Amino acid sequence: MTKNVFDLVVVGGGPGGYVAAIRGAQLGMSVALVERAELGGICLNWGCIPTKALLHSATVLRACQEASHYGVTGAGEARPDLAAMVARSRKVAGRLGLGVAHLMKKNGVTVFAASATLAGAGKLALDNGTTLSAKHIILATGARARELPALPVGERIWAYRQALMPTEIPKSLLVVGAGAIGAEFASFYRAIGSDVTLIDMTPEILPQEDAEISQLARKAFEKQGIRVLTQCAVTASALTATGVKVTLDQQGKKTELEVDRVIVAAGIVGNVENLGLEKTRVKIEKTHIVTDGLCRTAEPGVYAIGDVAGAPWLAHKASHEGVLCVEAMAGKPVHAIDPLRIPACTYSYPQVASIGMTEARAREHAKANGGEIRVGKFTFAGNGKAIAMGEDQGLVKTVFDATSGELLGAHIIHPEASELITGYGVAASLEATEEDLMHTVFAHPTLSETLHESVLSAFGRALHA
């Protein structure tokens, strides 16, 4: 007979949920995981992982097309094989899904393939008729793509699932939403040959990033042939014989654009429906569950982590919350998560990565507290490894408190930005000052030397600028 009483039940098997289940088992808890779809959640199956597989295919294609620049002949006629790219992407996701299933078995986590609803104190009712009991319940139900009334998803208007499994390359494509997801899809489809238009309602693409970095990203996208329209929205759409005709409103000026396909990447909403929350003290704000610094909701014994618990909507934030939440309930010493120490990455071409405050936010913070900031910048054009790679375009920008030397923010735009940002993440976690970073020895020749030079620049000591 399957066990129905546990110390911990986690609802949702994404990067937050399955990590929380593993950590609970490591701490000696009896743990169950309830997942209605695929282990690994949207991130592993329909988000982070398959998109990165497609984007890497685009990187390989780009390298082949530009091979003659590096003294390699015979590769310049490379063409995208879309079916093979998609098949590889799905294979990568499938492999990792099997890996999560193995981890559940290895750690003794009981997995229920079902949906769950809160059914009273410490109880969950599953849609297969089973009732589970647990002292602790973690809701890790994630989020889904926001729907736009003017763009109903279908055969020609895509959300992320459809965009990940195209059967042919659209000759023309409109991407609605220039955040991380939209920028990544725009980069991929442009690389494989689509005529891409990228729009956003805000004044700049990647609106959560530092303004200077966003502007550099826009210039890089436009140089690749991506048409970028900001302060622009879709007010209507209609299917044509072969594509979609949309009405664009850019600051009151209305125009029509006809494209083969549209990708909607206009944000997400939390999966809070059908969880039985209305019968509890759990509070919801803007489709997300309200929690405290230890992931506790207002309902005793009920916790929430990951995308369903609000911004930042990042897989690594969800995983960190999963560990934090379980260790707190086990009585371990923990620290509440600090959003300013969570790196954010966009895997477009070039990549954008950041941690902490933008320059504008840091200036506002300093002004409110009677302080000042120091800003350092270093371009990859001065880095030997970047020049050797043929990737010498980009910028590293650092922001410090002028008095204490605290690292307030760091921002990178470069094809390897996502790998570089962790250096600043470690520094922020260790509360390293500018002096610590300036005295750190960085290997040569490496891209990471730019991190050092940007810090030196903030204090008037750059060596190669």
List the binding residues. Answer: 52, 177-184, 267, 307
Annotated binding site for NAD(+): 177-184, 267
Q: Which of 320, 444, 452, 464 is catalytic?
A: 444
Q: How far apart are the first and last CA of the chain?
A: 69
Q: H/E/C letters for each residue in the chain?
A: CCCCEEEEEEECCCCCHHHHHHHHHHCCCCEEEECCCCCCHHHHHHCHHHHHHHHHHHHHHHHHHCHHHHCCCCCCCCCCCHHHHHHHHHHHHHHHHHHHHHHHHHCCCEEECCCEEECCCCEEEECCCCEEEEEEEEECCCEEECCECCECCCCCEECHHHHHCCCCCCCEEEEECCCHHHHHHHHHHHHCCCEEEEECCCCCCCCCCCHHHHHHHHHHHHHCCCEEECCEEEEEEEECCCCEEEEEEECCEEEEEEECEEEECCCEEECCCCCCHHHCCCCEECCEECCCCCCECCCCCEEECHHHHCCCCCHHHHHHHHHHHHHHHCCCCCCCCCHHHCCEEECCCCEEEEEECCHHHHHHHHHHCCCCEEEEEEEHHHCHHHHHHCCCCCEEEEEEECCCCEEEEEEEEECCHHHHHHHHHHHHHCCCEHHHHHCCCCCCCCCCHHHHHHHHHHCCCCCCC
Tokens matching residue 178? 């220039």
Annotated binding site for FAD: 52, 307
- C-alpha 412/C-alpha 451 separation (Å) is 9
**Residue type for position 146:** R
Is 444 one of the annotated active-site residues of the chain? Answer: yes
- C-alpha 258/C-alpha 93 separation (Å) is 33
Active site members: 444
